[in-house]
Amino acid sequence: MFSVSSWLHLRFPFSYLLLPIYLFSLAISPNFTEHSLLWSFVIIHFFLYPASNGYNSYFDKDKGSIGVLKNPPPVRKGLYYLSLLFDVIAIALGLILINLTFALMLFIYGLVSKAYSHPSIRIKRYAITGWLITGIFQGFFSVVMCYVGINNFPLDAVFAPEVVWAGVLTSGMLWANYPMTQVYQHQEDTARGDRTFSLMLGIRGTFIFAAVMFVLVTAGFVLYFVRFYSDAYAIAFPLFVAPVVIYFLYWLVRVIRDASNADYTHAMWLNFISATCMSAFFIYFFLAYTNLMQVFQ
């Protein structure tokens, strides 16, 4: 259970790629404390996400590159138990340090992530179903879960329109990005019998779909900030994510010239740039909206 390979498969750095979800929830949070902010962050990023990564790796048994792990070592039985241990720790800490609602949401997230890769269900093998469920739970559900944890709220406190639409837009962004995380795994997914969304679309179709979705979701974010906050944030958002567009177009041109460029390295760079730009925007939004930015001036 404590082998180096098992810990590598927890893929802690992958939590960085999901950080914008937490920061978006924080930016619209009205009732956070240092205690709830610290512990919700630690529980989600250092226990819940790694548990999900490890469990999925155990059943996928990837031989090729996977998210933030270019050369994954062979999985061992200990990884299975280590991932379950991290799940239990996450739920226990959520119950003890935050509240029952947060703990239950952590439990539900864990169940869905297990269903994604467990051979008896394996949501991953179904192209559209896998795409939909991943976007809903890593997007909308995660925004609500983070919001509950950060603010120590009961579930009925999360149905404000700005929270609901934040969740919808986050799901939209994940639906745009999710096929791009699969585009370099077509050969391995085919061999394993997984009919992923990207495999269904094809390489060029994946890029076209992601581009259309990204434009629609970006427009949605602009309207969201105009409706609930300020035109300044609506203008800032496209500027912050412009590097994502530039890199995406650069990668697309390379793929058009040679399909072998739809590879792990380019996919990880797109994910890293996207996570960095989105995180930077939500930090800016949080600091500006809460007036904390004035402290640094």
Question: Rounded distance, CA 163 to CA 191, Å?
Answer: 41
Quick one: what percent of the chain has pLDDT higher than 70?
A: 97
Q: What is the mean pLDDT of residues 208-235?
A: 97
Is the pLDDT higher at 181 or at 295?
181
Instruction: Write out pLDDT tens, residues 106-157.
Output: 999 999 999 998 989 989 889 999 999 999 999 999 999 999 999 999 988 8
User: Would you say residue 95 has pLDDT above 90?
Assistant: yes
Q: How far is CA 164 from CA 168, 202, 257, 273, in A?
A: 6, 32, 41, 26
| Token duo for residue 125 | 């093998």
Sorting pLDDT into bands at 50, 70 and 90, what band is 293? Answer: low
- pLDDT for the residue numbered 295: 47
In this prediction the pTM is 0.94
Distance CA(263)–CA(206), nearest Å, equals 13
291, pLDDT greater than 90: no
Note the pLDDT of residue 292: 65
pLDDT band at 70 (very low <50, low <70, confident <90, very high): confident
Residue 296: pLDDT above 50? no
Alpha helices in the chain (DSSP H): 4-9, 14-17, 19-27, 34-43, 49-60, 77-97, 100-117, 127-135, 142-151, 161-177, 186-192, 197-201, 203-228, 231-257, 264-289
Q: How confident is the model at residue 177 (pLDDT cuts 50, 70, 90)?
A: very high
Residue 63 predicted with pLDDT over 80 = no
219, with CB counted inside 10 A (0-12, 13-18, 19+), is exposed
Provide the H-helix boundaries in 28-160: 34-43, 49-60, 77-97, 100-117, 127-135, 142-151
Contact of 28 with 162, CB cutoff 8 Å: yes
Is the pLDDT reported for residue 72 higher than 60?
yes
Torsion of CA 231, 233, 238, 240, to 10 degrees: 150
Q: How far apart are the first and last CA of the chain?
A: 49
Region 5-23: mean pLDDT is: 94
Average of per-residue pLDDT values in the chain = 93
